[in-house]
Amino acid sequence: MKSIRHLILALLPWALAACGPKPASTAGSPAVPTSDEEKKLNLYCWSEYIPQSVIDDFSKETGIKVSVENFSSNEEMVTKLLAGGGKYDLIQPSEYTVEALIRENQLLPINPAALGNLANISSEFRNMPYDAGNKFSIPYMAGFVGICVNTDKVKEPVKGFADVFTPAHKGRIVVLDDAREITSWAFAANKLGINDVTPENLEKVKPTLKKWLPLVKVYDSDSPKTSLKNGDVDLGVVWSGEAALLYRDDKKFAFVLPSEGSHLFVDSLAIPKMAAHPQNAHLFMNYILRPEVSRKISEAFPYYNPNSAARALLSNEEIANPASYPPAQDITRMQTFRDLGKQSAAIDELITQIKAGGK
């Protein structure tokens, strides 16, 4: 009940401000906007995805105290959010989760007037299928899933999944421990749309999966670069950011987008319906959209930065990292994951079955 009152109180000034003159801060000017809420922000984000320095600088500038809670998977976040346990002001869902949350009316619409830096977002991220027009979310970082190869150990060219999953590499492969991801690769290899998850299509890709999975040594979504670095595996299908980090430390780790097709993921920031400090949340979002701040994030997490103004600030070396910014990639051509609803269980069962050596 209290939060609803806060919500109304919070929205009132906006209603007034929307009518009145726009605030002085536009496009990244350092003027400190104010909000009428108490100076607190409950941030619920991925662990180690927002640099502490960024959070600290925000606090210093605005005087808002940020409490950070971390999650390690979208579903964990959704479970806790929907159970009502945590009262979060800002969450960091991935694109398919954004879609699901919008559908379930769990997100607060964004007030574009409060986000002066919105223009910094690159045009290809403005009208994504899961949230057209950035009504409920702004992109934080984007990335892909691709093939990372230790070129010291693997001498032949690797262009796609077919080159990865060969008997020659048996027991030397790492893949993400994500049933949905793995299935989407099989779909791509079988020329099926990655979001066309139907029981018939799952049956169609079963033989492919049965051929691929026994060749895999390690399943790891959290830190696939570990096994690559330790030499326990020679190549793998991993997040682009992980490959970028490897490449940064040692150029022997080449990265290539699979020829069969790849998809884009977009981690975003969104405001839950029951947020107690939505104004502060907007302030934080706007802060993230500043080019110099976004650049800092890119430095720490070399994914694909959706902020074009920030990209202009990146060093040549960063842009040259093939895992962060693959050459000649048309982002608009790539698909993103749509929310699958109940089918996620079917996918999980399929993969677990095959992993366990079943029929």
Partner 1 sequence: MLWLGLFVLLPTLLLILTSFSRRDDMGRVIYSLTLDNYARCLDATWLSIFGSSILYALVATLICVLVGYPAAYTIGRASPKNRRILLTLVMVPFWTSFLIRTYAWISILSQEGLANSLLLSAHIIPTPIGMMYTPFAIVLGLVYNYLPFMILPIYTSVEKLDNSLIEAAYDLGAGPLRAFSSVIIPLTRPGIAAGALLVFVPAIAMYAITTLMGGGSNPTIGEVIQNQFTRARNQPFGAALGVLLMLLFLVSFLLLGRKKSAPHAA
Partner 2 sequence: MTEALAVGRKNFLRLPDGPTLVKWFCGSWTTMVFAFLYLPIFLLVLFSFNESKSGFDWQGFTFKWYEELFQNRILLRAFTNSLLIGTISTLLATGLGTLGAWMLYRYRFPLHRMMEAFIFVPMIMPEILMGVSLLVLFVNLSLPLSYLTVIIAHVTFTFPFVLVGMQARLQGMDPSLEEAAMDLGATPHQAFFKVILPYLTPAIASGALLAFSLSLDDYIVTVFVTGAESQTLPLKVYGMVRVGLNPQLNALSALGIVLTILLVFASERLKQSNSGE
Contact status, residue 347 vs residue 340, Cβ threshold 8 Å: yes
Which of residues 36 and 76 has its CB atom nearest to partner 1 in the complex?
76
22: nearest Cα among 109, 112, 113, 111: 113
Q: Is 100 in the site for partner 1 (CB under 8 A)?
A: yes
Q: Is 171 in the site for partner 1 (CB under 8 A)?
A: yes
* Least distance in angstroms from the C-beta of 192 to partner 2: 31
Binding site partner of 85, from partner 1, partner 2, none, Cβ cut-off 5-8 A by kind: partner 2
Contact status, residue 130 vs residue 268, Cβ threshold 8 Å: no
For helices 199-212 and 179-189, what crossing angle results, to 10°? 90
Binding segment for partner 2 (CB under 8 A), chosen from 68-76, 172-180, 195-203, 317-325, is 68-76
Q: Is 217 in the site for partner 1 (CB under 8 A)?
A: yes
320 DSSP 8-state letter: H
Q: Is 127 in the site for partner 2 (CB under 8 A)?
A: no
Q: Is 326 helix (H, G, I), strand (E, B) or coil?
A: coil
Spacing of C-alpha 282 from chain mean position: 19
* Least distance in angstroms from the C-beta of 107 to partner 2: 20
Q: Give 321's Cβ-side CA count (13 Å radius).
A: 28
Question: Using the rule CB under 8 A, which residue among 2, 8, 200, 230 binds partner 2?
Answer: 230
Residues 134-163 that bind partner 2 (CB under 8 A): none
Which of residues 169 and 311 has its CB atom nearest to partner 1 in the complex?
169
Task: Identify the residue whose tokens are 């994914």.
Answer: 303
Contact status, residue 268 vs residue 188, Cβ threshold 8 Å: no
Cα Rg of the chain (Å, integer): 21
Give dist(CA 59, CA 97) in Å, integer: 28
Which of residues 70 and 166 has its CB atom nearest to partner 2 in the complex?
70
Return the structure tokens found at 133. Answer: 């027009």
Give dist(CA 315, CA 236) in Å, integer: 27
* Least distance in angstroms from the C-beta of 151 to partner 1: 16
344 DSSP 8-state letter: H
Binding site partner of 162, from partner 2, partner 1, none, Cβ cut-off 5-8 A by kind: none
Q: Is 59 in the site for partner 2 (CB under 8 A)?
A: no
Which of residues 86 and 322 has its CB atom nearest to partner 1 in the complex?
86
Q: Is 227 in the site for partner 1 (CB under 8 A)?
A: yes
Helix (H) or strand (E) holding 133: none
Q: Is 37 helix (H, G, I), strand (E, B) or coil?
A: coil
Binding mask 78-97 for partner 2 (x = CB under 8 A): -xx--xxxx-----------
Terminal Cα distance for the chain, rounded: 53
Q: Is 245 in the site for partner 2 (CB under 8 A)?
A: yes
Binding site partner of 177, from partner 2, partner 1, none, Cβ cut-off 5-8 A by kind: partner 1
Q: Is 69 in the site for partner 2 (CB under 8 A)?
A: yes
Q: Give 86's Cβ-side CA count (13 Å radius).
A: 21
Q: Please report, as ranges, the residues that interact with partner 1 according to CB under 8 A.
A: 73, 75-76, 78-79, 82, 100, 104, 171, 177-180, 213, 216-220, 226-227, 230-232, 339, 341-342, 344-345, 347-349, 352-353, 355-359
Q: Please report, as ranges, the residues that interact with partner 2 according to CB under 8 A.
A: 42, 46-48, 52, 67-72, 76, 79-80, 83-86, 222-223, 225, 229-230, 245, 249
